[in-house]
Structure 1
Amino acid sequence: MAPTAAYEEIADWYEEEFLAAQRAGEGPGAAVTRALIDLLGPVGPGGGVCLEVGCGTGVHAAAVRELGWTPAGIDLSAGMLRHARGRLPILRGDAERLPFRDASVPAAIAMMVHTDMPGYPAVVREAARVLRPGGVLVHVGVHPCFCGGFADRGDPGAVVIGPGYLDGHWTKRSWTDKGVRNRVGASHWPLPALLHAFLDAGLTLERFAEGGEPVPFVLGVRARKPPAPGARGEPAPEARE
């Protein structure tokens, strides 16, 4: 069965209202950008492509470009990609079946999308497949411990956590009717399950970031694909005594 583009019907609202509020400082946009900059970091000598998996309207391309990377994006929603044109090169496609060769890109990012992807562990595996040895994957997403159908963030000075955190699930339950989750729903993974997705894909966890108040609503992870055997002076396994 073909995957469904959950954002297709709300693409214009997302760009023209939701992101406008983010730019006005009424959402997590600044914390998301800080985590991206901290974890991705400047490009190395010679430059390189940074693939955004689930790029949406391409709002993160400017930050990627400022770090010296060449942004490129893929998304399932034609409506979202319509707004991304002009911000970065784009391709419509399924994040669980990336149309790229093995070991073909030096960096990839997944920005605030893991809650939108019921098969996110498969997405991480695909990102790991297309990364070059030594390449990095940066994940910046909703913090699984403090956001979800179990968390009431209606009070700006406190977050009330109810039952349900340990139960992986999909829900449209949300503390606000002005956000994304009550429109498209969200998938939830407890923190161990989320981090295991990177380890199970063969990636090495390197750095983490949190952001937001009164408790973090953003969690960032940088993971790296191990270098190829024999790289950086390391002998290939068959050459060892």
Structure 2
Amino acid sequence: MPGSRTAVYDEHADWYNDHMSADGVGHYVQRVHETLGDLLGHGSGTCLDVCCGTGAHASRLGELGWTPLGVDLSRGQLRHAVRRLPVAVADATALPLADGSVPAAVCVLASTDVPDYAAVLREIARVLAPGGRFVHLGVHPCFVGAFADRSDPPRVVVDPGYTDRSRRFDGGNPAGVRVRVGAWHLPMADLLNAATTTGLRLTRTAENGPDGIPELFGFLTVKEEADDTSPHRSLQLGPSGV
């Protein structure tokens, strides 16, 4: 699993690579990339793709002028990602980068794949340079999850399970990602608080989805001050980065 110490995505890596490239999710990926571009904007230098998976979003980062660098714990996923961007095997809660070393970072469609997303955000804040940008983009915490009944589109009916922060395998597409690897739910307030308590300044939010019902939620944050309290780490890549 990206960003977790147990890479459960390994056994699903080939399926996921095909799934994200399939015609059936093409419009979804297009919305993801549109929203990512809207939040991150154009720039130059390294953009760290945290929990990069198969590298499905590297092309969009390149179109925006950034040089993507991916990190993920799943070697199975990185077998596909290495064809799309330089990569390193790493846990997202212990990134192998020095403090304040990258001008930009993103985490796309991965927040539900980690049990402690707040710890991931703290690590991202540590490695961001002062003035650096970080974009979170994921499933909408209010309308997508095991607590959300989407069987009668475009209606979404939310039940009290919205407050359940545990990992669940039910709900959603019966042939999709969640039934294979599960998902940790993070309510909207928890998600925003996790970001702002790292010292990152929230500057913009975005929602996107069909029929006026948001299925994606993202935000842009900016690091205002360097954080010198953590031990320095240096990124080390093998011949192929994996």
- TM-score normalised by length of structure 2: 0.88
Query: What residue is the counterpart of 2:231 in the other structure?
Result: none
Find 1:5's aligned residue among 7, 12, 21: 7
Mapped pair 1:36 → 2:36? yes
Higher relative contact order (CA 8 A, sep 6+): 2
- Matching of residue 220 in structure 1 with residue 218 in structure 2: yes
The alignment-based identity, stated in percent, is 50
The one-letter code sitting in structure 1 at the alignment partner of 2:127 is V
**TM-score where L is the length of structure 1:** 0.88
2: distance between equivalents of 1:9 and 1:196?
33
1:140-190 Cα offsets, whole Å, 9 max, x none, are: 001000011111122332212122112322111113211100111000111
Partner of 1:138 in structure 2?
135
Name segments (4+ residues, structure 1) moved above 4 Å. none
Does structure 1 retain, via aligned residues, the 8 Å contact 2:20–2:26? no
How many angstroms does 1:200 deviate by? 1.2
Distance 2:63 2:20 in 1: 24
Q: Is the 8 A contact 1:132 1:225 kept in 2?
A: yes
Structure 1's unaligned 5+ residue stretches are 230-241
Q: What letter matches 1:14 in structure 2?
A: Y
Q: 1:69: how far off? A: 0.5
Query: What count of residue pairs does the alignment treat as equivalent?
Result: 223
CA contact under 8 A between 1:150 and 1:162: conserved in structure 2? yes
Q: Which has the larger radius of gyration?
A: 1
Structure 2 equivalent of residue 169 of structure 1: 166
The 3 A distance-change label for structure 1 pair 22 and 38 is farther
How far the C-alpha of 1:17 sits from its partner, in A, is 3.3
Letter in 1 for 2:14: D
**Correspondence list, 1:60-75, <5 A:** 60-75=57-72
Unaligned runs of 5+ in 2: 228-242
* 1:239 equivalent in structure 2: none
Range 185-194 or range 154-163, more displaced: 154-163
Q: Which residue type is aligned with residue 124 of structure 1?
A: L
- How big is each residue's C-alpha offset from its partner over 1:58-81, in whole Å with a ceiling of 9 and x where there is no partner? 011111001111011000101100
8 Å CA contact 1:22, 1:29 repeated in 2: no
Q: Distance in 2 between matches of 1:17 and 1:164?
A: 28
Deviation at 1:132, TM superposition (A): 0.2
* Residues 67 and 22 of structure 1: CA distance in aligned 2, closer, same or farther (over 3 Å): farther
Question: Are residues 18 and 109 of structure 1, via their aligned partners in 2, closer, same or farther at CA, if it must alter by over 3 Å?
Answer: closer
Q: Cα deviations across residues 71-105 of structure 1 (Å, max 9, x unaligned)?
A: 11000101100011121000011000000000000
Where 2:112 maps in the other structure, the secondary structure is helix
Distance change >3 Å, CA 12–CA 202, structure 1 → 2: same
Q: Distance in 1 between matches of 2:198 and 2:24?
A: 32
Distance 1:42 1:127, change over 3 A: same
